[in-house]
Structure 1
Amino acid sequence: MKNNNVTIHDISRALGIDSSTVSRALNNSDRVSKKTKEKIVEKAAELGYQRNSLASKLRTNRTNTIGVIVPRISRHFFSSVISGIEETAFKAGFDVIICQSLESIDREKKLVETLLSNRVDGILISISMETTNLDHLDNYKKNGFPLIFFDRPCNVLENTNVIIDDLKAGFDATAHLIERGCKNIVHFSGPQNLELYRNRKKGYTNALNAYGIPFSKSLVIESQLMQQDGIDAARQLLKLPKVDAVFSANDTAAISAMQYLKTKNINIPKDIAFVGFSNEPISAIIEPSLSTINQPDFEMGKVASSLLFEQIKNKKYAAENQTKILKPYLIIRNSSKF
């Protein structure tokens, strides 16, 4: 049974060992022999000693806690990233505070303030759809506060980021549709203030250019890619001439669009083929199953948190901006098979 009143001095008296040696042993210091360390740990357990983590944190000026801000925890992609972060943090001896901005810049700013007031040692953040600049973070970064952006970067050259190759992913998704004979390909695009959606769109236009297909602005439908946005986009594309395929910048909009089009007797993929993005679990079980881009989400969490811990341990790394680019890949399913 743990006893909050037991101190290192009690252990010291019980063993006849100097209290400084007891302290070093309980902190797993290499300066204490294995035999002595085992004796001290055993006696500490016997007496019910409970380490005062708050005092330890005050001494080291660290809380061994990091903050994570994501747009929506409910998204499978972000929950998988968080799993990678948590696993890495646990092994490193860090706790994790998880927050969601719900795509609101005001909420994001408030969350940053809350995490900093709780003295987190660093922050991992995927910015909201409303975020157009990093004014609410710049001062902290300039002062060397450990900060990593993942999935949704902002000012890539001025920050440390962990992202996927959205440009290549957009190209591969569009090229796949073209190689199956599609020529009038609509792109469901996300907000263009976010770099990942700009790159997915650029990959789309690059593929059109590579295959000699003219780009048309009328075939790009921009939205926040929510469920209703997919339905609205489907209604809009039915008014366009001869649309034969859709590359959607996420699965959510693609799936709701497909469901709506089926109610209008549109055959997928015979009439309109679809490729989504993110490989949400539902994409494999809907009818027809959705071709999509798979993102290394769990790996992203592990890589991003590892970089953050490097910055925390050695603040000089916080000033060295770098971008880690992870590789996505195309999964071909029935929505684009002819």
Structure 2
Amino acid sequence: MAKRVTLKNIADTLNISMMTVSRALNNQPNVDEETKERVIKTARQLGYFPNQIAKSLVIAKTQTIGVVVPEITHSFFPDAIKGIEEVVYKAGYNIILTHSAEDTKREISAIETLASRRVDGILASVAESDTEYQIYKQIIDMGLHVVFFDRCVYNIGASCVSVNDEESAFKITEHLIKHKYKKIAHLRGPLSISIARERLEGFKRALQKYKIKYNESWIVESGFHEDGGYKAMNKLFELPRKNWPRAVVAVNDPAAFGAMKAVKEKGLNIPQDIAIVGFSDDIRAELMWSPLTTVKQNAYEVGKLAAQKLIAHIHNKKEKVENIVVKTELVIRNSCGCKYKLGIRNWELGIKN
């Protein structure tokens, strides 16, 4: 087995001091550009790799950032990770990506692993089963920087980057109401999660503003995945047919996809029999058999801003803890009863209530 190349090997090859080699490789002052180039070229030729563990002990940083996501099938999180990665790479950091699979125990294990590896900070989006945030309080109290994105935990000393979930849910519900829908159901997420609570509040506020009766039997928990949306929609179908809702606001697009499957299996049409809208503008939304009206989230921007905020916290202990909101927009397609053409934002009503 070949021996690891050291600073001494490079220094001996060039007949210069180890201190000069170290300064050149770390782009420190007091080394001329010609020497830096010679050192870097020789290091590559010899196959030198820096000892990151030793370096982290010297500078008290590992130049790594931990990322915890609840799932990776929904297109929101891959897009958010792209935004994160762009920022941290330019700032000279690497990421360690972990996946909780919507499970609290796996989330805690991931946080403990990242903390034990001495990451410089953590970007986290909490699992839907998470109701206890003690682990986050502990690591924040230890001095580890945390920024939440999308699914937030408030009032524990951490910044958060998300969209305006309450206002966005209000607007998409209002869109249905303005087009004469009155019997509207909501497939909600678990109320332990911030986005589920806020989207439910936006839905309820829209009903209240337009004096539409709030029907408790039309509020069904679906979670954030297709199977949950499918089961929740079928639960609504257990009601007497005369009490079926005429429109459904799903907590996110995957839940809406599951609901659409249940509607199709029932032999019904979207939107002629039941209108459905979602939230997030998943990559599949436009490709559904009835293209899905939804709220477009800029996941890339959410990830990017979250990474920027975390790095700011790492570099400046006095960086302000704040909640940053990214704007959304309604994307109107067929599933709400609005006819549209691909690539064209203009739409016209086609609703039977």
- TM-score with structure 1 setting the length: 0.92
Counterparts of residues 316-327 of structure 1 (less than 5 Å): 316-317=318-319, 320-327=320-327
Contact 1:70 1:78 in 2 (8 A): yes
1:236–1:41 CA distance, 2 compared to 1 (3 A): closer
> Taking structure 1 as reference, are residues 112 and 283 closer, same or farther at Cα in structure 2, changes over 3 Å only?
same
Cα deviation code 1:124-147 (max 9, x no counterpart): 111111222321121221232111
1:223 aligns with 2:208: no
* Rounded Cα–Cα distance in structure 2 between residues aligned with 1:228 and 1:35: 62
Kindly provide the amino acid, as one letter, of the partner of residue 236 in structure 2.
L
Q: Which residue of 2 aligns with 1:333?
A: 333
Shift of the alpha carbon at 1:62? Answer: 1.7
Of 290, 293, 310 in structure 1, the residue corresponding to residue 292 of structure 2 is 290
Report what 2:201 is aligned to: 202
Question: Would the aligned equivalents of 2:74 and 2:254 in 1 still touch at CA under 8 Å?
Answer: no
Query: For 1:202-231, what per-residue CA distance to the aligned partner results, in whole angstroms no more than 9, with x for missing partners?
Result: 111111122232322222112324323222
Deviates more, 1:232-241 or 1:43-52: 43-52
- Letter of the structure 1 residue corresponding to residue 180 of structure 2: G
Equivalent-residue separation in structure 1 for 2:245 and 2:189 (angstroms): 20
Partner of 1:113: 112
Distance 1:259 1:302 in 2: 34
Q: Deviations over 1:282-304 (max 9, x none)?
A: 21111111111111111111111
Q: Displacement, 1:14? A: 4.1
Contact 2:295/2:328 (CA < 8 Å) preserved in 1?
yes
Q: Distance in 1 between matches of 2:232 and 2:325?
A: 30
For 1:255, the aligned partner's letter is F
Distance 1:228 1:7, change over 3 A: closer
Higher relative contact order (CA 8 A, sep 6+): 1
- Number of equivalent positions: 334
After TM superposition, the structure 1 = structure 2 runs for residues 12-23 of structure 1, keeping only pairs within 5 Å, are 12-23=11-22
**Is 1:56 paired with 2:58?**
no
Distance 1:61 1:268, change over 3 A: same
CA spacing shift, 1:243–1:14, aligned 2, 3 Å: closer
Change (3 A) 1:198 1:20: same
Deviates more, 1:241-250 or 1:148-157: 148-157
- Provide the secondary structure at the position in 1 that maps to 2:105: helix
1:4 and 1:49 in contact (8 A); partners too:
no
> What secondary structure does 1:274 align onto?
strand
Specify the SS of the correspondent of 1:63. coil
Deviates more, 1:153-162 or 1:183-192: 153-162
| Deviation (angstroms), 1:16 | 4.3
- Quickly say closer, same or farther: Cα 1:164–1:36, change in 2 above 3 A: same
Alignment-mate amino acid for residue 119 of structure 1: R
Give the letter for the 1:12 counterpart: A
Q: Deviations over 1:1-54 (max 9, x none)?
A: xx7554333433444444322211111124323233223323434444433333
Instruction: Tell me what 2:256 maps to.
Output: 254
Distance 2:24 2:262 in 1: 65
- Superposed displacement of residue 156, structure 1: 4.6
Counterpart CA distance in 1 for 2:310 and 2:234 is 44
CA distance in 1, matches of 2:11, 2:265: 77
The DSSP-based 3-state class of the residue aligned with 2:43 is helix
Letter in 2 for 1:220: I
Distance 1:265 1:49 in 2: 65
Gap change, CA 1:104 and 1:48, over 3 Å in 2: closer
Aligned counterparts of 2:204 and 2:49: Cα–Cα separation in 1: 61
The CA deviation string for residues 49-107 of structure 1, in whole angstroms up to 9 with x for no partner, is 43333322222222211111111122211111112212222222222111111222122
C-alpha distance in 1 between matches for 2:52 and 2:232? 53
Q: Which runs of 5+ in 1 are unaligned?
A: none
Looking at structure 2, the residues matched to 140 and 10 of structure 1 have their Cα atoms a distance apart, in angstroms, of 40
Structure 2 gaps, min length 5: 339-349
* Equivalent pair of 1:156/1:323 in contact (CA under 8 Å): no
| Separation in 2, partners of 1:65, 1:327 | 29
Give the Cα–Cα distance (whole angstroms) in 2 for the partners of residues 10 and 227 of structure 1: 57
Report the AA paired with residue 205 of structure 2: N
Amino acid at match of 1:302: K
> What residue is the counterpart of 1:314 in the other structure?
316
- Picking from 273, 276, 284, the partner of 1:274 is 276
1:75 maps onto 2:74 in alignment: yes
**For each residue in 1:311-338, what CA deviation from the matched residue of structure 2 results, as whole angstroms up to 9, or x when unmatched?**
2223343xx4211111111111110112
- Go from structure 1 to structure 2 and tell me whether the alpha carbon gap of 1:48 and 1:205 turns closer, same or farther (over 3 Å shift): closer
* Bigger mean CA deviation after superposition, 273-282 or 31-40: 31-40
**Structure 2 SS opposite 1:315:** coil
Distance in 1, matches of 2:191 and 2:286, equals 28
Matched residues, percent identical? 38
State the shift of 1:261 in Å: 1.4
